[in-house]
Structure 1
Amino acid sequence: MGGAAHSIETATGHSWREWTEWLEGQGASTLTHSELARLALARIRQLEIERHAVTGKPLNDGWWAQTIAIDYEHDHGLREVGQGHLGTFAASASKTLHAPLDETLRAWLDVMQGIDAVDGVPFAEAPSTTATEKWRYWRVSLADGTRAQVDISSKAVPEGASAKSVVSVQHSKLNSAEDIPPRKMAWKELLARLEDFTKE
């Protein structure tokens, strides 16, 4: 059982075996991704799963339905690891820093200052940044048709502890699984530079 399946069990309170057996009973192996996700969503609502089984927080049922569909497809050879629901692939990487959101965003902008390509692929346009109360975003499209997004969020810490932020990179629309390792390595190298721009 993969990490996604384990997280599905933790979130829904139902074992991955239960999910798999139920989906197979509905003919899941013959369904498209969209049909499979809709089926999973209907089941979540049928079971009245409205909150995360461990944290008690409201459950984003649409997101978990997509996760269930993708993991089922991985398990049954309907999708390669790293392949998204549109048939393309994505590389991801993340890093946790001892810094609040805005300081982390400034550090990321400092890291990317003067950089106009990743893994030898140039940016198709200037990167953009946006912000919400709880998130900071950095996005860029590349010349090969791929797209990268950096999400910065606060990490929960004990009361009185210094702030921490999580920087997550998602490089999407890759053409094949072979594209994932070099892109992942390139982003990890950039993430590693963040330490030089933030204080402990």
Structure 2
Amino acid sequence: MGRAAKSIETATGHPWLEWTEWLEGQGASALAHAELARLVLDRIRQLGIERHASTGEPLNDGWWAQTIAIDYEHDHGMREVGQGHLGTFAASASKTIQGTLDEALRDWLDVMAGVTEIDGVPLSEQPTTSATEKWRYWRVSLADGTRAQVDISAKQVAEGAPAKAVVSVQHSKLESADDIPPKKAAWKALLSQLNLR
């Protein structure tokens, strides 16, 4: 069973075995990633899954379709853990902190002020930021052709409780699985500085 199987079951309300058996019946193991993700997205919509089965919040069906496709690929040897659909790898890390989206972004910018390299690889450009109603983003390219993106989202809290945000980093376009641990460690070290200022 893939790493995300339990969260998939919790989100969709359907057992992972049910997803796997249905996908195998559709010949999913012979599909490219994009086709597989589209197939899953169609199935989510056919089943009428519009809300997270556990929280009741609106379901981001495109994101969950990708998650189901990737976990299926892991289970069937179509993809190594951490490997993207183009054959490259990605390292990820996250931390939940106190604050609103804008406060979390400001805190992250404070942490990154003066940082010129990640795990010994120089940044190749000035980082950029952007925002939507529900997200804040920070992105940068590195000299080795890899990219890093930070996604900041609000964490659901009890009514009247202080705001919290989830700061998630993904470092993509890594060449091998061996690159994941050092990159993950480097980003975790930076994330650990959040809310300490």
Match of 2:85 in 1: 85
In the TM superposition, what is the alpha-carbon distance from 1:113 to its structure 2 partner? 1.1
Q: Percent identity?
A: 78
Corresponding residue pairs, total: 197
Q: CA deviation at 1:56?
A: 2.2
TM (norm. structure 2) is 0.94
Pairwise CA distance, 1:15? 0.7
Number of the residue aligned with 1:118: 118
Moved more, 172-181 or 150-159: 150-159
Structure 2's unaligned 5+ residue stretches are none
Q: Does 1:162 align with 2:162?
A: yes
Distance 1:181 1:130 in 2: 28
Query: Helix, strand or coil for the counterpart of 2:195?
Result: helix
Task: Show the counterpart of 1:49.
Answer: 49
Q: Point out where structure 1 has 5 or more consecutive residues left out of the alignment.
A: none
Aligned to 2:107: 107
Aligned to 1:186: 186
Supply the distance in 2 between the matched residues of 1:3 and 1:59 (Cα, whole angstroms): 20
> Hey, what's the Cα distance between the residues in 1 that align with 2:74 and 2:135?
30
Root mean square deviation of aligned Cα: 1.4
Encode CA deviations 1:127-154: one digit per residue, 9 max, x unaligned: 1111222222111011111111111222
Distance 1:60 1:107, change over 3 A: closer
Cα distance between partner residues in 2 of 1:166 and 1:26: 36
Letter in 1 for 2:178: E
Cα deviations by residue, 1:88-135 (Å, 9 ceiling, x for unpaired) = 111111111122222222221111111111000011100111122222
Q: With the length of structure 1 as denominator, give the TM-score of the two structures.
A: 0.92
Quote the offset at 1:65 in angstroms. Answer: 1.6
- Asked if the contact 2:151–2:168 (Cα under 8 Å) also holds between the matched residues in 1, the reply is yes
- SS at the partner of 2:193? helix
